[in-house]
């Protein structure tokens, strides 16, 4: 039994020595509570400060954007009015030019009169006759046949008459 008593006393002494200099559990809990409260206060202050800075920045940006949009709208409406005035002036000029021109230009590819060649032959009539007699005849053949009779006809003129002739035939 003596050994047991000695062990119990030794254990008691050991516990006292170990706990000496160590804070007690209530002290640690109190310290942690203080740290938590400090962290909460710091975070709340930083969040409030960040919200305030963001709000100010957004307000400044919105005001700047509003000024820019307003300026552009004013500029655009001024440009539109100037363009509208120019368009009206151009319209008046066009109306005046149209009223001044009373004669209409004659636009006809087929019915124009071509002066007779040196041999007195009507070129258009000659080409039409070739188309009527031989619709498949090539432009070069028509040109060669005309030159045999002493008449010079350009390939462009023959093409122009062929186009008009085919349109008349299809109509």
For 94-135, write each residue's pLDDT tens digit: 877 777 665 555 555 555 554 544 555 689 889 999 989 988
pLDDT at 93: 82
Is 14 a residue whose pLDDT tops 70?
A: no
Q: What is the DSSP string of the chain?
A: -HHHHHHHHHHHHHHHHHHTTSPPHHHHHHHHHHHHHHHHHHHHHHHHHHHHHHHHHHHHHHHHHHHHHHHHHHHHHHHHHHHHHHHHHHHHHHHHHHHH--SPPP--SSS------TTS--HHHHHHHHHHH-TT--HHHHHHHHHHTT----HHHHHHHHHHHHHHHH-
pLDDT at 11: 64
pLDDT at 3: 65
> pTM here?
0.32
Is 10 a residue whose pLDDT tops 80?
A: no
Look at 38-42, 105-109, 158-162 and tell me which has the smallest mean pLDDT.
105-109
Domain extents for the chain? 27-101, 123-170
pLDDT at 109: 54
Mean pLDDT of the chain: 78
Contact status, residue 131 vs residue 137, Cβ threshold 8 Å: yes
pLDDT at 90: 81
């Amino acid at each position: 039994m003596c050994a047991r008593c000695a062990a119990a006393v030794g254990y008691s002494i050991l516990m006292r020595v170990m706990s000496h200099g160590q804070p007690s559990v209530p002290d640690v809990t109190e310290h942690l509570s203080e740290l938590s409260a400090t962290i909460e206060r710091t975070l709340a202050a930083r969040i409030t400060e960040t919200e305030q800075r963001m709000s100010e920045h957004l307000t400044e940006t919105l005001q700047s954007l509003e000024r820019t949009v307003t300026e552009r709208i004013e500029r655009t409406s001024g440009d539109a009015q100037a363009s509208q005035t120019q368009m009206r002036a151009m319209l008046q000029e066009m109306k005046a030019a149209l009223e001044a021109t009373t004669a209409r230009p004659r636009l006809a590819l087929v019915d124009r009169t071509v002066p007779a060649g040196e041999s007195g032959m009507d070129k258009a009539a000659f080409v039409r006759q070739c188309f009527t007699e031989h619709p498949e005849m090539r432009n070069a053949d028509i040109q060669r046949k005309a030159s045999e009779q002493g008449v010079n006809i350009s390939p462009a003129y023959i093409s122009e008459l062929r186009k008009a002739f085919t349109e008349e035939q299809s109509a």
